[in-house]
Amino acid sequence: MYRETEIIQDNANGGLNAGDGDLIINVGPQHPATHGVLHLVITLNGETIKKVEPHLGYIHRSIEKMCESLSYRQFIYVTSRMDYLSAHINNHACAMCVEKGLQVEIPPRAQAIRVLMDELTRIASHELWWGAMAMDLGAFTPFFHAFRERETINDIMEETCGARLTMNYMVPGGVMHDLHPNFQRRVKEFLGLYKRKIHEYDELVTGNVIFQSRMKNVGVLSAADAVSYGCSGPTARGSGVSCDIRKLYPYEIYDKVEFDEVLETGGDSFARYMVRIREMQQSIRIVEQLIDNIPEGEFQAKTKAVLKLPKGEFYTRVETARGELGVYIVSEGTTTPYRIKFRSPGFSNLSVLDHIARGSKLGDLVAMMGTLDLVIPDIDR
């Protein structure tokens, strides 16, 4: 509660509550640590952070408004550009929402393909996070090691979906086209590569003394705060909050595959780090279960050429690599949505940054931002 009064006071003097000897630093909109156009106004006392104020909007493309003038088939393509690291999962959430409105059952093959693609995307996203976070901490080499594995996934995606980043593969009713004949072989190759190389991750970063001292007891987020700020995904699970949508509200065939929800109780940067590292292994588990058991049959349900959702409101949520993504469609019964709202995980996860950063050093802020895994186009949309 003290925070609210402080914010009011801050606004009274122009949003900056700087005392004597305080240094106000603009980190961003162009800064190596923000990985995008995030702007943080940081009040520093020496090296100690007194306040962090995120300024958003530098990459706002009004995706929600754009979606209102696009048909139900078209708007899914735009959502690949929100959280570009988990494009599949964004597409998936939107396709699911439209299917909910149309009341279409999608074939089992499409469900299996969707889950496979989601989990591969999750691994790719966590790989990139791992490299980028290590780079924030000043270690450059992990980035390239992470990209070695990530490129393999991107190649698999390219073969099947035709794109490496903005896949646009999920469509209402299933997936756009069938898997590439090489898909299973190449995924198995990837699994082999990943298992051979995963020990390098621990040797290079996780077990490093400097890394651990930079991460442990830094940016501690209590479970209660994680809930009250609306954190989701690995950020909240690092604080021991069970919030995996795949477990709590299973969609597609997530209730049929075996995997564990990864929980850590530390709440510090290291806990958030470990959640993601262990989550990659759980995703590998899911991929392993599904890769030989993709059901035969149709990859797409029969839908009309022009989709019209019945009048009403529809909401679906999925677990992206960063947390809970909600898609809310208000339909007036026409071919375009009346209103679309995305509940993006990055926005809520960013809001916690000021809370956990106060009192720590400037170098730690970068580590915290790394472990929150912020993707700026996801925050701004």
Q: Of the candidates 98, 102, 137, 241, which one interacts with other proteins according to CB under 8 A?
A: 137
Binding segment toward other proteins, per CB under 8 A, in 4-12, 89-97, 237-245, 364-372: 364-372
Helical (H) or strand (E) element with 314:
strand 312-319
Give the nearer residue to other proteins in terms of CB position, either 28 or 346.
28
Q: Which of residues 96-135 bind other proteins (CB under 8 A)?
A: 134-135
Q: Quick one: which of 284, 345, 277, 260 has its CA closest to 120?
A: 284
Give the nearer residue to other proteins in terms of CB position, either 77 or 147.
147
Q: Binding of other proteins at residue 23 (CB under 8 A)?
A: yes
CA 98 from chain center: how many Å? Answer: 21
Give the nearer residue to other proteins in terms of CB position, either 216 or 343.
216
Give the nearer residue to other proteins in terms of CB position, either 47 or 313.
47
Binding segment toward other proteins, per CB under 8 A, in 3-11, 283-291, 306-314, 355-363: 355-363
To the nearest 10°, report the CA torsion of 274, 277, 279, 281.
-130
- Which residues lie across from 170 on neighbouring strands? 175
Please state the closest distance from residue 371 (CB atom) to other proteins, in A: 13
Please state the closest distance from residue 345 (CB atom) to other proteins, in A: 23
Please state the closest distance from residue 132 (CB atom) to other proteins, in A: 10
Nearest-angstrom CA–CA distance, 343 and 328: 8
Q: Binding of other proteins at residue 361 (CB under 8 A)?
A: yes
Q: Of the candidates 9, 15, 57, 140, which one interacts with other proteins according to CB under 8 A?
A: 140
Q: Binding of other proteins at residue 32 (CB under 8 A)?
A: yes
Please state the closest distance from residue 195 (CB atom) to other proteins, in A: 18
Whether 324 contacts 243, CB under 8 Å: yes
Q: Which of residues 154-213 bind other proteins (CB under 8 A)?
A: 204-205, 208, 210-211, 213
Residue showing tokens 């020990």? 199
Please state the closest distance from residue 39 (CB atom) to other proteins, in A: 14
Q: Of the candidates 15, 57, 138, 310, which one interacts with other proteins according to CB under 8 A?
A: 138
Please state the closest distance from residue 10 (CB atom) to other proteins, in A: 20
Q: Please report, for residues 101, 124, 160, 167, 171, the alpha-carbon distance to residue 184 in angstroms, rounded to integers and kept in the order given.
A: 32, 17, 11, 18, 21
Whether 107 contacts 302, CB under 8 Å: no
Q: Of the candidates 59, 163, 263, 362, which one interacts with other proteins according to CB under 8 A?
A: 362
b/e map of 172-197 (b: 16 or more CB within 10 Å)?
bbbbbeebbeebeebbeebeeebeee
Whether 64 contacts 71, CB under 8 Å: no
**Count of residues in contact with other proteins, rule CB under 8 A:** 31
Nearest-angstrom CA–CA distance, 11 and 53: 12
- Contact partners, residue 210, CB within 8 Å, separation at least 6: none
Is cis: bond before 337, omega within 30 of 0?
no
- A 10 A CB-CB count for 77 gives 17
Give the nearer residue to other proteins in terms of CB position, either 142 or 174.
142
Give the nearer residue to other proteins in terms of CB position, either 7 or 139.
139
Give the nearer residue to other proteins in terms of CB position, either 94 or 277.
277
Q: Of the candidates 109, 145, 237, 276, which one interacts with other proteins according to CB under 8 A?
A: 145
Residues of this chain that interact with other proteins (CB under 8 A) are 23, 25, 31-33, 47, 134-141, 143-145, 148, 204-205, 208, 210-211, 213-214, 361-366
